[in-house]
Homo-oligomer: A and B are copies of this chain.
Amino acid sequence: MTTVATVAELAGRAQKAARAIAGAGREVRKAAVLAMARGLVDHAEEILSANEEDVAAARGRGVRPELLDRLELSLGRVEEMAEGLRQVAELPDMLGEVIERWRQKDGLWIEKVRVPFGVIGMVYESRPNVTADAAGLVVKAGSAAILRGGSDALGSNRAIVRVLRKSLEAAGLPKDAVILVDSPDRGAVDELLTAKGLVDLVIPRGGAGLIRHVVETATVPVIETGVGNCHLYVDRAADLDVALNLTINAKTQRPGVCNAIETLLVHEAVAGEFLPRAISALRKRGVEIRGCSKTRAVVPDVRAAAEEDWATEYLGLILAVRVVPDLSAAVEHINRYGTRHSESIVTEDPEAAERFLREVDAAAVYHNASTRFTDGFQFGFGAEIGISTQKLHARGPVGLKELTTYKYVVRGSGQVRV
């Protein structure tokens, strides 16, 4: 079991580095992230050549084209990674912020202070850009990152992490603030997930299968991210032009992402007028429709939706459509099948809107707006590491703030408990 020793050893080194990162000044952390950005650009050739080998090998193994697309880097993509790091560097540093402060009757001062997590593990798929994004955010947040990307991208990740570590060292910080789990062995992931006392937090980023595995295996705290079975509900009091616009945007503006909608719910009072328009507009944009029986009564050539369609995150140009008798049925459908990500109502009725916003249980609930806004940049948080669909206690976009925690600092003059 050499890998057991290895992950524990990596984590021990990351812990030490995390203390140095936390203790460094905010200017040092900022300079380090900027140095990481420069490093990527300066060593782009080296990164691209490692990536070419990864892509060729993956293609040889018959990896699907959309996965190859995620794996493949270009000079432009490396520049984007660097630009992402520069933006992270410029975000305000929140460490040391006094969130609350009060004085007890006995003279004790209690402060709730923002502090780093320590060691943050990231488990993700074969998207080398996540390696740079995660490393930058974690270092800026005062922690150390242990990264485990998909094995298809191992060569690319090695090259990127080598550059990032050099840049950290040049900036006067320990290179072990960014560590790659340099093993294609799946056992290494599980060791990371169960490294209690060594790893303070793990964030999985990827498809439903990856996230399920992490949640089921981890004994360290996890921020569950990403699976988005999102809905748009067109109420009886909707402005149907607005509804059409939002439907098209939420489904087609970028169908492969977690905050795109997968099911459209339509109040039966407006289904007859809205559905033919919406379905025709969606089909023109290449969207396949799967509808309930009432949908098919209005637009007969729609394929019948099965029970599993309500629970599916297509991540592509397919949309399930269901006609519901009222707002309650819409809320019930969403709370039953949704993944607590992003949910929207289209209505001109303020009471219906408030009820929906209150009763739907999701990280982000919308009135008359596209679900596509659930995103760190769109919310004004800057870069994010994913969208949390759990509730404890980082919900929605996980940006710099959510990558920190707090501790209580208590200053006394000899107080004892009586």
Contact = CB atoms under 8 A, between A and B. Distances in A.
A410 B361 contact: no
A392 interface: yes
Nearest to A247: B416
Given A416-B245, A416-B246, A416-B370, A393 B365 contact: no
Interface in A93-138: 102, 104, 108, 110, 115, 117-118
A253 interface: yes
A188 to B, nearest CB: 19
Interface stretch (A57-65, A154-162, A280-288, A400-408): A400-408
Contact of A410 (B23, B222, B373, B414): B373
Report copies per complex: 2
A277 interface: no
A271 to B, nearest CB: 20
How many interface residues does chain A have, given as a range?
35 or more
A366 B359 CA distance: 42
Majority-rule SS of A interface residues = mixed
B215 A196 contact: yes
B405 A249 contact: no
A108 B373 contact: yes
A372 B416 contact: yes
16 contacts: A23-B359, A104-B378, A117-B391, A201-B392, A253-B418, A353-B411, A362-B407, A366-B411, A368-B415, A372-B417, A391-B405, A393-B393, A393-B402, A395-B408, A396-B407, A396-B408
Given A245-B414, A365-B407, 6 more contacts: A201-B392, A242-B414, A353-B411, A364-B407, A368-B415, A392-B405
